[in-house]
Chains A and B, each alone.
Chain A
């Protein structure tokens, strides 16, 4: 049985449809990523799955429990960690663990056992009595994760869990998430860091309340299998962008960092028309080469086809 089953899940706020007939499954032990710009409906979906918000229609089973019927039952089976690392700043590391353990109804023995586990996992041994407000971002993030899994939930929700954390801590964090997933914990994560999405087994791209694309990172990139993406490096990318407007073999162009990404029409593999156009316009070009489409390319493509803006 899937860990999370979502069928036609819908939530309206007045006339506004925040989540529009969304359906998907998440398998046990899977790391399932939820991608989308702000306002795409990610948070509303998560809040419904965590039992905080009642669905307007449709259903969602989390750990086999209907979130509409028994939100409290859902809460017992999930762990939740938000981007704010919601810990009590005036409490020590140890006190935060004790509090959240108590909040989930753990008895003293269980709290002691899980405290040791969390301290080891987060690398917080020796800092038990440090006030949480004095911890650096990475430590707080790992402590927040630890507090979210004290009650050993089979399903873990992470809402943009790596905001404001340095790259090294972010890598450590993902290593922990992978460990949990290997141990059978289902991880449901929202993010807008596209490089992070590569850590997910499967991804759902949300756009305007709907799931615009869903699949493994590999599958999503395969959308471009029949189209080549060419990366153009040039000192004057804006002029180069305009120069390619009416080249027949070009489907579309976009800025990608300081470079230019050019999608050729299906079947096209020839870069000579591009070079020719640049020469005609007298534009200096550093390099023109084929590249693997990135997740950002996929994302932009999906967003464009869904008719939204890339905001």
Chain B
């Protein structure tokens, strides 16, 4: 244990003096959070809208103001002809056009179905679908209101009204869903990359040979190497979580202690992965590439961070069971968004624990092979 502490203390001094490692551990996570945190969002706001109002009535103006008041749409042009719409759409100045035909108000008041036209630029199918949803919701809302006004002078409620209530993320802001994934992603990358360099660097500089000459067993060495990275990464991870709360309004409904424990398990696995890479390769540049590849890709694609695991084909879904971020994301979302107890996420915690023990063990074994 004394030896492990000696290794840990040495490693800590080295990290603190080596700006590059410290940057990977502290600055890069903050940078990623800022960058991705603002860029990553499925919510579309301020869609550029052109309006062609041929009716020019109180009802048509009501409809238009419903669009602008929603904050999803910004009116950037008021036009008189379809050719204007075509021109604006072609130039990319607008994404949506709302066309209100002459006589809409008249149709409404005389009990006929009034039609408005919403033209959407479909070159980006995702955006188009979302925008279409917004537009439909707004039109439906306005028409329901009008119906009530007309029929009962606003006194009668609609016959059946479903009252949706979304739990844990009432505004359905995709940020709340994405930020926990982002936290897992950042923590994984920074801790895997930084530790993957640590043993290779010693091999390159020749100090590794000196360490091999000393009577220290592999487990002590791996434990000693991991401790300082663990402490620094933990501080960094908690900072990231705190920053996500301040910047993106991530709530904290569960227990801090449980959160700390979950993050610790995840970190141990990530650091073990980095050490394992470090024992397998012989140069720092290769270590950097390998660790980036194995930490980044699975964490983005196979963890449920962005693509839902449930909709993956079975063979791919099987692979996701090997990705630690998968369990971390489920646990993290459950703890911060739902405030669940430990037993709810016990499966995920167990999986993270097994992964950590496995990779740290493998790293120790590999280190033993290196020694002979």
Interface residues of A (CB under 8 A from B): 50, 52-54, 72-73, 75-76, 78, 80, 82, 84, 86-91, 95, 98-105, 107, 131
- List 13 additional A-B contacts (Cβ < 8 Å) besides A80-B210, A91-B13, A102-B9: A54-B372, A75-B215, A82-B206, A82-B210, A84-B206, A86-B205, A86-B210, A89-B205, A90-B14, A90-B18, A100-B214, A104-B214, A105-B3
Bound-state CA distance A67–B362 (Å) is 26
A99 interface neighbour in B9, B17, B208, Cβ under 8 Å: B9
User: Which residues of B sit under 8 angstroms from A101, Cβ to Cβ?
Assistant: 6
Whether the pair A105, B209 counts as a contact (CB closer than 8 A) is no
Q: Shortest CB–CB separation between residue B208 and chain A, in angstroms?
A: 8
Whether the pair A105, B9 counts as a contact (CB closer than 8 A) is no
User: Which residues of B sit under 8 angstroms from A99, Cβ to Cβ?
Assistant: 6-7, 9-10
Bound-state CA distance A98–B13 (Å) is 12
Bound-state CA distance A80–B211 (Å) is 10
Whether the pair B207, A86 counts as a contact (CB closer than 8 A) is yes
Whether the pair B215, A88 counts as a contact (CB closer than 8 A) is no
Asked if B87 lies at the interface with its beta carbon under 8 angstroms from chain A, I say no
Whether the pair A103, B214 counts as a contact (CB closer than 8 A) is yes
Whether the pair B5, A91 counts as a contact (CB closer than 8 A) is no
Bound-state CA distance A105–B221 (Å) is 13
Which 6 A-B pairs give the minimum distances between C-beta atoms? A102-B6, A84-B206, A86-B210, A99-B10, A75-B215, A90-B17
Bound-state CA distance A76–B214 (Å) is 7
Contacts known (A102-B5, A103-B6, A105-B3); A90 close to B214, Cβ less than 8 A:
no
Interface size class of B (residues with CB under 8 A): 20 to 34
Interface residues of B (CB under 8 A from A): 2-3, 5-7, 9-10, 13-14, 17-18, 205-217, 371-372
Residue among B3, B7, B13 having the largest count of chain A Cβ atoms under 10 Å? B13
B10 interface neighbour in A72, A75, A84, A91, Cβ under 8 Å: A91
Chain A, Cβ-Cβ closest to B18 = A90
User: Which residues of B sit under 8 angstroms from A73, Cβ to Cβ?
Assistant: 215
Whether the pair A102, B3 counts as a contact (CB closer than 8 A) is yes
Chain B, Cβ-Cβ closest to A92 = B13
- How many pairs of residues, A versus B, come closer than 8 Å at their CB atoms? 74
Q: Shortest CB–CB separation between residue A94 and chain B, in angstroms?
A: 11
Chain B, Cβ-Cβ closest to A82 = B209
Whether the pair A50, B213 counts as a contact (CB closer than 8 A) is yes
Whether the pair A95, B2 counts as a contact (CB closer than 8 A) is no
User: Which residues of A sit under 8 angstroms from B10, Cβ to Cβ?
Assistant: 88, 91, 95, 99, 102
Bound-state CA distance A53–B213 (Å) is 11
Q: Shortest CB–CB separation between residue A224 and chain B, in angstroms?
A: 38
What are 15 A-B pairs at a CB distance below 8 A? A53-B372, A72-B217, A78-B213, A80-B210, A80-B213, A84-B209, A86-B207, A88-B13, A90-B14, A91-B10, A91-B13, A95-B13, A102-B2, A103-B6, A103-B211
User: Which residues of A sit under 8 angstroms from B205, Cβ to Cβ?
Assistant: 84, 86, 89
Q: Shortest CB–CB separation between residue A75 and chain B, in angstroms?
A: 4
Bound-state CA distance A171–B9 (Å) is 35
Whether the pair B2, A107 counts as a contact (CB closer than 8 A) is yes
Q: Shortest CB–CB separation between residue B275 and chain A, in angstroms?
A: 18
Chain B, Cβ-Cβ closest to A159 = B209
Residue among A53, A73, A80 having the largest count of chain B Cβ atoms under 10 Å? A80
Whether the pair B210, A98 counts as a contact (CB closer than 8 A) is no
A88 interface neighbour in B5, B207, B214, Cβ under 8 Å: B207
User: Which residues of B sit under 8 angstroms from A84, Cβ to Cβ?
Assistant: 205-206, 209
Bound-state CA distance A101–B209 (Å) is 16
Q: Shortest CB–CB separation between residue A85 and chain B, in angstroms?
A: 8
Whether the pair A105, B215 counts as a contact (CB closer than 8 A) is yes
Residue among B2, B5, B208, B217 having the largest count of chain A Cβ atoms under 10 Å? B2
User: Which residues of B sit under 8 angstroms from A87, Cβ to Cβ?
Assistant: 207
Q: Shortest CB–CB separation between residue A59 and chain B, in angstroms?
A: 18
Bound-state CA distance A90–B17 (Å) is 6
Q: Shortest CB–CB separation between residue B22 and chain A, in angstroms?
A: 11
Whether the pair B3, A103 counts as a contact (CB closer than 8 A) is yes
Q: Shortest CB–CB separation between residue B204 and chain A, in angstroms?
A: 11
Bound-state CA distance A156–B261 (Å) is 47
Bound-state CA distance A147–B74 (Å) is 71
Chain B, Cβ-Cβ closest to A102 = B6
Bound-state CA distance A167–B327 (Å) is 61
Residue among B9, B215, B217, B372 having the largest count of chain A Cβ atoms under 10 Å? B215
Bound-state CA distance A271–B17 (Å) is 67
Bound-state CA distance A72–B220 (Å) is 14
Whether the pair B215, A72 counts as a contact (CB closer than 8 A) is yes
User: Which residues of B sit under 8 angstroms from A131, Cβ to Cβ?
Assistant: 17
Bound-state CA distance A88–B18 (Å) is 11
Bound-state CA distance A87–B5 (Å) is 18
Chain A, Cβ-Cβ closest to B16 = A90
User: Which residues of A sit under 8 angstroms from B214, Cβ to Cβ?
Assistant: 75, 100, 103-104
Bound-state CA distance A78–B3 (Å) is 17
User: Which residues of A sit under 8 angstroms from B6, Cβ to Cβ?
Assistant: 98-99, 101-103
Residue among A75, A76, A86, A131 having the largest count of chain B Cβ atoms under 10 Å? A86
Q: Shortest CB–CB separation between residue A65 and chain B, in angstroms?
A: 12
Q: Shortest CB–CB separation between residue B176 and chain A, in angstroms?
A: 41
User: Which residues of A sit under 8 angstroms from B7, Cβ to Cβ?
Assistant: 99, 102-103
Q: Shortest CB–CB separation between residue A201 and chain B, in angstroms?
A: 24
Q: Shortest CB–CB separation between residue B229 and chain A, in angstroms?
A: 15
Q: Shortest CB–CB separation between residue B97 and chain A, in angstroms?
A: 63
B213 interface neighbour in A75, A90, A91, A107, Cβ under 8 Å: A75
User: Which residues of A sit under 8 angstroms from B18, Cβ to Cβ?
Assistant: 90
User: Which residues of B sit under 8 angstroms from A53, Cβ to Cβ?
Assistant: 372
